Structure 1
């Protein structure tokens, strides 16, 4: 479910930070710091979905070009301890699709720009974790407001003190409200809560929801940076790791105290049939240290940052004291296969997947009534695996095509800035000296040349040869999926999937089910996909 996470970070010259480097890394660009001459090239990094630049209405056009904005932001600060940029990192709900997350990130950025008048570069990143849920956006903001004349006064209200606390609370509330509005607009029931855990726990107690209060009544662990995380993987205990271990122990003690309080007050929070408080303790100990991201089955309840405990434990799920996890439900496998197929066909509706559509359609209709068996699991897992390979192949070229669109957008911005400069300042005038005019003109030309090269590289990645290789790969993957689906449809031991639901339910009591003819629905029409 959706979780709330936001973090504010500043980039200070006293720590050796660079706003240009930060912008290049987050957007996957090549940017040059004109103060130092250093090139920050992150064009090869992956995971950057989209970058959106937002500025006030009357801001100069160059503020929309990262290659000009961030070097100017650096140059506007002349102190050795200056703060050159501020970042707002926000988790985006994985329940939304890419387009909806882009609209959400833009709305959050617009709210910040409207209140503070600075420039924002919003870079959306795809999940770097195995679970595929960590969609997030880095909103990199200048520390100075922008007017028609360029950079103006600094946003001191965000620097700290009483005003800083008020502004941070406004930002957190605005982010949560905006996320919830977009979740509601998408028809998703999940909601996020920006309030502190202790406040949420107090509300849960006031509602009489002791189980939720138990989950929320915990001290959050401290954020582990890249260096500390790498050291922890090698078995080196840093101060932050030691502190987190202490927090985990204290949370364990608090959990025991809450259990004792529940026993004294006679609250039946964990006392469902077959699941005593002792069982709850065993389940909790068994799961402490687990690294899986936890999902809540209670709508509206967050479990962000809590490791080692499933909410179902707090709600009294009976479970054996074993570390073996149950296999995924058949219905979940069917849902995953159907979702992968839908995503594939949304991109490539011309693919001949008739047998696969027919098979998944039969399974989807009877998902709740399918009888679990080794054969069914083998066929289903094989289909999910092959569909996953096909989906990755299909999306690979689609992502390259999107990269061309992004490169074209950046090229046109650079071209517009170049043409506007030459139109407004065809030769040195009284505003600048000849040397400064040459520098400014050369800077725009360098950006245009870089964007031209980037566009050529992006277009080369979707050349005719790449297209042919891509088509051959897609054809191979499609054939693998279809052959597997045809084998499943022809398998006599799985002919049960073609019977009416009533027959499927009755089959569990019958020793030898008699097969029935499989219906043959008409194939779905397909459309030719236009060549890029």
Structure 2
């Protein structure tokens, strides 16, 4: 499923960071920092699929040299708490080709260059071998000063000021959603992304009278696994696939995420079947069929392609199982009211809402999982110190 992510961060000296180190790490290259007198060598890093620099048309030639560009950015700032670079982190759609991902990342970076007059250093990363294999992403480092023929000049106050920074970033978030959706459309995908909050999307759905979509959006944002739990669950998924068995999450956090994803998939299936039933009902009524005939046509549509091979009783039973309701509630399913309530109840059950005892148990299990993850991170740190991990 296509997902949306765009975050904007700053590279600050006050946090002990430098633009040269950030650029070297994201591009898996080596940069000698003139200001620090240090060599940042990340050539052993894996997973960088492409990297390139975009700059304004009148920028000097040295701007295409990564080391020269970011050393210039560091040299231009004199304060100990200066912000020397800005990072735009983007989730790339896994449903499109490698070339398409590079193309939309380049288009977004070019828009940053044209809109703010900065240089943009783009690095496209593949999913980590132990993480979610859909996690294609890009890191775009931009200068915090305008780049012209004279070099780095004025600060990009448009992004720094509270009154203008928020709207500017929101505009770029919308542009990134447009780029992704265009790429998904060209790839023949039906999925689309939306940069707005779930609450904003839900309000729009209600204003348009789409109560099914509003119910689907009435959920909490998906819990993030984190690197340690993600690696554990990824290994278990691969093992389950190799052994030909169903995947069962090993961690509490993984089980929570898995339950949410299953609930979302169930809701999407129910929504599709209810819409088919509603359309079939409307078409049958327009053709002058009676309520019973129209209802059976809707039931067959909701039951799927195999409905032609079923008798009327089998169709009713299949739709009842899909909606999770007792037999005899077909009309309520067709109108969508009872089905929507069932969906909400089943979603709440999958998410463990409304049960204090379960919530306390889940909280304890989450605390245990955090302790296990912390111990795993400490072990990895010890392994790195001993030279056992790159």
Tell me whether 1:17 sits opposite 2:17 in the alignment.
yes
Q: Are the counterparts in 2 of residues 23 and 140 from structure 1 also a CA contact under 8 Å? A: yes
Tell me whether 1:115 sits opposite 2:119 in the alignment.
no
Q: Are the counterparts in 2 of residues 87 and 139 from structure 1 also a CA contact under 8 Å? A: yes
SS at match of 1:49: strand
Q: Structure 2 vs 1, CA of residues 59 and 165 (structure 1 numbering), >3 Å: closer, same or farther?
A: same
> Deviations for 1:475-511, whole angstroms, at most 9, x for unmatched residues?
xxxxxxxxxxxxxxxxxxxxxxxxxxxxxxxxxxxxx
Q: Are the counterparts in 2 of residues 270 and 280 from structure 1 also a CA contact under 8 Å? A: no
Tell me whether 1:155 sits opposite 2:156 in the alignment.
yes
2:226 and 2:118 mapped to 1: Cα distance? 28
> Deviations for 1:142-185, whole angstroms, at most 9, x for unmatched residues?
10111111101010111131111111111111111122222223
1:150 and 1:282 mapped to 2: Cα distance? 59
Tell me whether 1:57 sits opposite 2:57 in the alignment.
yes
SS at match of 2:122: strand
1:106 and 1:205 mapped to 2: Cα distance? 36
Q: Are the counterparts in 2 of residues 210 and 269 from structure 1 also a CA contact under 8 Å? A: no
Partner of 1:181: 182
Over aligned residue pairs, what C-alpha RMSD do you find? 3.4
> Deviations for 1:111-140, whole angstroms, at most 9, x for unmatched residues?
110101101011000112544101111011
> What displacement does 1:81 show?
1.0
Partner of 2:240: none
> What displacement does 1:192 show?
1.2
| Correspondence for 2:338 among 268, 293, 312 | 268
| Correspondence for 2:352 among 255, 269, 285 | 285
SS at match of 2:189: coil
- Structure 2 unaligned residues grouped into runs of 5+: 232-252, 261-331, 356-390
The equivalences for 1:90-239 within 5 A come to 90-128=90-128, 130-220=131-221
SS at match of 1:212: helix
Partner of 2:33: 33
2:219 and 2:126 mapped to 1: Cα distance? 29
> Deviations for 1:244-264, whole angstroms, at most 9, x for unmatched residues?
9xxx9xx9xxxxxxxxxxx9x
1:29 and 1:4 mapped to 2: Cα distance? 28
SS at match of 2:84: strand
Q: Are the counterparts in 1 of residues 87 and 142 from structure 2 also a CA contact under 8 Å? A: yes
Q: Structure 2 vs 1, CA of residues 190 and 219 (structure 1 numbering), >3 Å: closer, same or farther?
A: closer
Partner of 2:388: none
SS at match of 1:118: coil
Q: Structure 2 vs 1, CA of residues 156 and 269 (structure 1 numbering), >3 Å: closer, same or farther?
A: farther
TM-score (norm 2): 0.59
The equivalences for 1:362-511 within 5 A come to none
> What displacement does 1:206 show?
2.8
Q: Structure 2 vs 1, CA of residues 102 and 222 (structure 1 numbering), >3 Å: closer, same or farther?
A: same
1:173 and 1:84 mapped to 2: Cα distance? 26
The equivalences for 1:295-374 within 5 A come to none
1:81 and 1:229 mapped to 2: Cα distance? 35
Q: Are the counterparts in 2 of residues 211 and 269 from structure 1 also a CA contact under 8 Å? A: no
1:4 and 1:90 mapped to 2: Cα distance? 8
> Deviations for 1:211-270, whole angstroms, at most 9, x for unmatched residues?
43234234547879879999xxxxxxxxxxxxx9xxx9xx9xxxxxxxxxxx9xx93344
Q: Structure 2 vs 1, CA of residues 44 and 14 (structure 1 numbering), >3 Å: closer, same or farther?
A: same
Q: Structure 2 vs 1, CA of residues 175 and 276 (structure 1 numbering), >3 Å: closer, same or farther?
A: closer
Q: Are the counterparts in 2 of residues 62 and 68 from structure 1 also a CA contact under 8 Å? A: yes
SS at match of 1:268: helix
> What displacement does 1:67 show?
1.2
SS at match of 1:72: helix
2:344 and 2:131 mapped to 1: Cα distance? 34
> What displacement does 1:76 show?
0.5
2:344 and 2:109 mapped to 1: Cα distance? 49
- Structure 1 unaligned residues grouped into runs of 5+: 231-243, 252-262, 289-532
Partner of 2:70: 70
2:103 and 2:186 mapped to 1: Cα distance? 12
> What displacement does 1:271 show?
5.4
1:173 and 1:267 mapped to 2: Cα distance? 34
